[in-house]
């Protein structure tokens, strides 16, 4: 039996890639569950890299579930948002007018019902919109790591009102890494060190290498499974892990930037984005890594160790790269695309807090984003 609606959460979604589309699917499929909880998520706008689709009346109505489903289908097929015009009471705005419409919507709803601006894109370009939403008292939910890993002033601005921002899915997909770290910090228990395998992609790559497969084959499979960033070199170069490490380091109070992180790339510069396209890398570049990686795996195995791609955050800053670890260690036992994070503090000095679970995939990440949205429901009241 549905409960009376106690919280209505208007949402504008930025980003219609894999995570964004899965999020819309989750919102639709979870309607019966949310109804039982007295919660209603009202999607009033969806944007991609070129345009924004907005409901005619953001105050009292959003997109119906049929339109949300059609948006997912259209974007999966590579069609523009403009192809959805006429399927519901909505308007289309092209960039740069779309950005202004996001701020207008934040201004209007920020003064009345409130708004959750959800960023599932993979760009730095949303920073201005996110800061504008914060200025208008709106909430922000991030799967996109980049707004939190640019200028420190942007990070500080976005997290200045911690009640209104959630970014659990920026580190560890749906795992409660951010929540655990912030709870420990809030308790007055100083965190001395965080060590972890923070990339589901590289966790998968490392365990498959351990089984004797070639890295070129593994990377292609990982991309087909949706484990990688659009360009797998974002994972193989360690930048995705470095961004996650930077977010955690900044949460610990370190005023550092990406340039301060020592990152070991798994590919040389001659195979980088400046030298070849993503398709060329997948077709002819990554195979050049097979021999050297096989040698590193063999060298580690002769010592009874395994290779893992590790991020460590301590008092000396943040380091990211390959390490040889004992097979029976928490990180050494890691298999597949799971993430493992060890948190050391005064209370967890000799026996760290260990967080482990699925750390990759659009579905898992989208579920984490939806949980973050629902976590804000107490800030929203029932609207007519």
> What pLDDT was estimated at residue 223?
87
Residue 20 is labelled as binding a ligand:
yes
Q: Tens digit of pLDDT for each residue in 274-330? A: 999 999 999 999 999 999 999 999 999 999 999 999 999 998 899 999 999 999 888
* pTM given for the model: 0.92
Residue 19 is labelled as binding a ligand:
yes
Q: How confident is the model at residue 1 (pLDDT cuts 50, 70, 90)?
A: low
Residue 4 pLDDT exceeds 80: no
Q: Tens digit of pLDDT for each residue in 165-215? A: 999 999 988 899 999 999 999 999 999 999 999 988 899 999 999 999 999
Average pLDDT, the chain: 93
Q: How confident is the model at residue 91 (pLDDT cuts 50, 70, 90)?
A: very high
Determine whether 244 is an active site residue. yes
Q: How confident is the model at residue 60 (pLDDT cuts 50, 70, 90)?
A: confident
Residue 336 is labelled as binding a ligand:
no
Residue 18 is labelled as binding a ligand:
yes
Q: Which of 75, 146, 223, 244 is catalytic?
A: 244
Q: How confident is the model at residue 384 (pLDDT cuts 50, 70, 90)?
A: very low
Going from the N-terminus, what domains does the chain have, and what CATH number goes with each?
7-174+364-380 (3.40.50.720), 191-358 (3.30.360.10)
Q: Tens digit of pLDDT for each residue in 330-379? A: 899 988 888 999 999 999 999 999 999 987 788 999 999 999 999 999 99
How would you write the chain as a 3-class SS string? CCCCCCEEEEEEEECCCHHHHHHHHHHHHCHHHHHHCCEEEEEEEEECCCEEEEECCCCCCCCCHHHHHHHHHHHHCCCCHHHHCCCCCEEEEECCHHHHHHHHHHHHHHCCCCCEEEECCCCCCCHHHHHHHHHCCCEEEECCCHHHCCCHHHHHHHCCCHHHEECHHHCCCCCCHHHHHHHHHHCCCCEEEEEEECCHHHHHHHHHHHCCCCHHHHHHHHHHCCCCCCCCHHHHCCHHHHHHHHHHHHHCCCCCCHHHCEECCCCCHHHCCCCCCHHHHHHHHHHHHHHHHHHHHHHHHHCCEEEEEEEEEECCEEEEEEEEEECCCCCCCCCCCEEEEEEEECCCCCCCEEEEEECCCHHHHHHHHHHHHHCCHHHCCCCC
Q: Tens digit of pLDDT for each residue in 42-57? A: 999 999 999 999 999 9
């Amino acid at each position: 039996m549905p409960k009376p609606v106690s919280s209505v959460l208007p949402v504008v979604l930025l980003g219609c890639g894999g995570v964004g589309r899965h999020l819309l699917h989750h919102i639709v499929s979870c309607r019966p569950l949310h109804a039982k909880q007295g919660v209603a998520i009202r999607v009033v706008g969806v944007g991609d890299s070129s345009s924004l689709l907005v409901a005619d009346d953001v105050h009292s109505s959003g997109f119906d579930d049929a339109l949300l489903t059609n948006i997912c289908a259209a974007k999966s097929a590579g069609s523009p948002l403009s192809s959805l015009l006429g399927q519901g009471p909505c308007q289309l705005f092209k960039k740069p007018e779309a950005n202004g419409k996001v701020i207008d919507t934040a201004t209007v709803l920020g003064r009345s019902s409130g708004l959750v601006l959800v960023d599932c894109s993979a760009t730095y370009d949303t920073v201005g919109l996110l800061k504008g939403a914060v200025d208008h008292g709106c909430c922000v939910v991030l799967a996109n790591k980049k707004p939190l890993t640019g200028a420190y002033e942007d990070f500080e601005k976005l997290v200045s009102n911690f009640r209104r921002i959630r970014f659990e899915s920026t580190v560890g997909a749906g795992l409660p890494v951010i929540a655990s770290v912030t709870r420990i910090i809030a308790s007055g228990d100083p965190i001395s060190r965080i060590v972890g395998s923070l990339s589901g992609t590289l966790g998968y790559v490392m365990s498959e290498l351990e089984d004797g497969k070639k890295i070129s084959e593994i990377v292609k499979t990982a991309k087909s499974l949706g484990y990688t960033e659009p360009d797998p070199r974002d994972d193989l170069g360690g930048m995705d892990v470095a961004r996650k490490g930077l977010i955690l380091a900044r949460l610990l109070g370190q005023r550092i930037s990406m340039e301060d992180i020592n990152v070991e790339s798994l590919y040389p510069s001659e195979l980088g984005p400046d030298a070849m396209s993503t398709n060329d890398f997948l077709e002819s570049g990554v195979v050049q890594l097979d021999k050297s990686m096989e040698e590193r795996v063999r060298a580690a195995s002769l010592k009874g160790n395994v290779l893992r791609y590790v991020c460590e955050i301590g008092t000396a800053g943040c380091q990211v790269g390959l390490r040889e670890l004992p097979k029976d260690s928490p990180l050494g036992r890691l298999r597949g695309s799971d993430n493992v994070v060890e948190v050391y503090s005064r209370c967890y000095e000799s026996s760290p807090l260990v967080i482990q679970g699925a750390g990759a995939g659009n579905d898992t990440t989208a579920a984490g984003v939806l949980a973050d949205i629902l976590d804000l429901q107490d800030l929203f009241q029932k609207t007519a």
